[in-house]
Each structure stands twice: as C-alpha cells, then as structure tokens.
C-alpha cells in the first residue's frame, strides 16, 4: 500500500476570474505537501486579473481560452476540456470562476466549485462575490457561510461536499461579511478536495 507522503500528487487545474486567493492558497498547500495535488494549469476568463500574478509566482502555466467570449457555451466547454485532457488533468477546481461551463459526461463529479453562501440559498445566475453578501444582509440572515459542490449543468446546483457556516453580525457590511465567509472558504476547499481525492483513490 502506498502511503500519503509518497503518493503521486493528483493533477488538477484551477479556473479563475478574479483575485486568485484560492489559487494561491491551494498552490501553497500543494507546495508544503499538505494537499496532495499538482496544479498543472490555470485557466482564466481574462488575461488582466490578479489571479494570474499568483499563477506566475507559482510557475503554473496559464491559458485564457476564448477571452473575447465569442464561443457558444458548448464550444467553450470543448476548448476547456480538451486543454485539460492534453495537460493530463484529472480534476478541475473552479475558484472564483464566473462563466457558464457545460460539463461533459466524462467530467461529472470531477469539477468542483466554491460559492460564498449556504446553497441552495443565494445561488444561481447573478449571485457572485459581493452580490451574494449584499443579498444575505438585505434578507436579514443571521447565519451565512460557504459551499463546495460538484458542478453539474445548472448554476450552483450540483451535489454538496462541504458547507461551513459563520455568523452574520448586526453591524456587518458586505466587506466584513465577505472576509468572515472567506476564512471559512479557506478551510472548506481543502477539506472538500481531500474528500474528493479519497473517493477518487477508492474508485
Ligand atoms: C470567493 O469568495 C468565491 O467563493 C467566490 O469568488 C471568490 C473568489 O475569490 N465565488 C463566487 O462568487 C462564484 N459564484 P478569489 O478569486 O480571491 O479566489
């Protein structure tokens, strides 16, 4: 039996549209050996976002498929998943990624997403980043949190792997709440990936 310390890291790609704090955190955990993943590729929706600085610092190759957004969702999906197959990637991690991506059958339960609310509340098209936290505050929620789930072909909908909660405080604004939720996200994503990897290893 192979122990965790000698296991070959699982090849992943991280897909981004924003500042890339998750990309940086996952690359840090990979480098320290705390998470047995090999971040082989960063796919981005744009070539001018903060996340790409993190990719550069970690020497992760970057691709920006269809930056002009000219392709249909299906053609975009073909481009993305053929890049992943070519790079030998086994799992795709969406981390602040904001574009609809149809998932081919062969990739069901191999694409993970993190969302900054307790799904199914405050999910779906139009709910991302601060829009989520604004809506949570407006509704008067007393608890919020984050969700890591497998991605299916409906926005923010697939089977849930991990949820973590945090309180919503009376004097919160969207920034303060986003920061509190993000601290939970930093725990939730590695936890969900460990779960996913153990399923992969046993399958
Ligand atoms: C995270 O808070 C993540 O939950 C959210 O974007 C942020 C990405 O931060 N994702 C969504 O809103 C997706 N619907 P990062 O780019 O700094 O990693």
Q: pLDDT digit string (tens) for 175-192? A: 999 999 999 999 999 999
| pTM assigned to the model | 0.95
42 pLDDT exceeds 60? yes
Residue 182 near ligand 1, beta carbon < 6 Å: yes
- Which amino acids are annotated catalytic? 115
Distance in Å, CA 6 to ligand 1 centroid? 32
How far apart CA 80 and CA 74 sit, in angstroms, is 10
Pairing label, strands 10-16, 160-167: unpaired
* Residue 55 contacts residue 42 (beta carbons within 8 Å): yes
With the most atoms of ligand 1 within 8 angstroms of its CB, the residue from 22, 39, 45 to mutate is 22
Report, at the CATH architecture level, how domain 115-151+161-203 is classified: 3-Layer(aba) Sandwich (3.40)
pLDDT of residue 165: 98
Rounded to 5 degrees, φ, ψ at 186 are: -65, -25
* Domains of the chain, residue spans: 1-107, 115-151+161-203
Nearest CA to ligand 1 atom 5: 96
What confidence category does residue 6 fall into, taking pLDDT thresholds of 50, 70 and 90?
A: low
Q: What's the whole-number mean pLDDT along residues 120-145? A: 96
Same fold, 1-107 and 115-151+161-203: yes
Fold adopted by 1-107 = Rossmann fold (3.40.50)
Residue 116 near ligand 1, beta carbon < 6 Å: yes
What confidence category does residue 112 fall into, taking pLDDT thresholds of 50, 70 and 90?
A: very high
Q: pLDDT tens digits, residue range 47-62?
A: 999 999 999 999 999 9
* Residue 178 contacts residue 146 (beta carbons within 8 Å): no
């Amino acid at each position: 039996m192979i122990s965790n310390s000698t296991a070959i890291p699982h090849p992943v790609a991280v897909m981004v549209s924003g500042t890339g704090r998750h990309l940086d955190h996952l690359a840090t955990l990979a480098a320290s050996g705390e998470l047995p993943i090999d971040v082989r590729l960063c796919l981005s929706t744009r070539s001018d976002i903060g996340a790409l600085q993190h990719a550069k610092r970690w020497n992760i190759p970057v691709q920006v498929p269809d930056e002009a957004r000219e392709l249909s969702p299906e053609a975009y999906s073909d481009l993305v998943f053929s890049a992943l197959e070519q790079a030998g990637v086994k799992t795709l991690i969406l981390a602040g990624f904001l574009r609809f991506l149809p998932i081919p059958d062969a990739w069901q339960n191999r694409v993970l997403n993190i969302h900054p609310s307790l799904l199914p509340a405050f999910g779906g098209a139009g709910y991302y980043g601060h829009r989520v936290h604004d809506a949570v505050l407006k509704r008067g929620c007393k608890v919020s949190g984050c969700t890591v789930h497998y991605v299916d072909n409906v926005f923010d909908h697939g089977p849930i792997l991990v949820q973590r909660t945090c309180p919503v405080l009376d004097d919160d604004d969207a920034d303060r709440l986003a920061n509190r939720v993000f601290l939970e996200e930093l725990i939730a994503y590695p936890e969900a990936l460990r779960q996913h990897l153990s399923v992969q290893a046993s399958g």
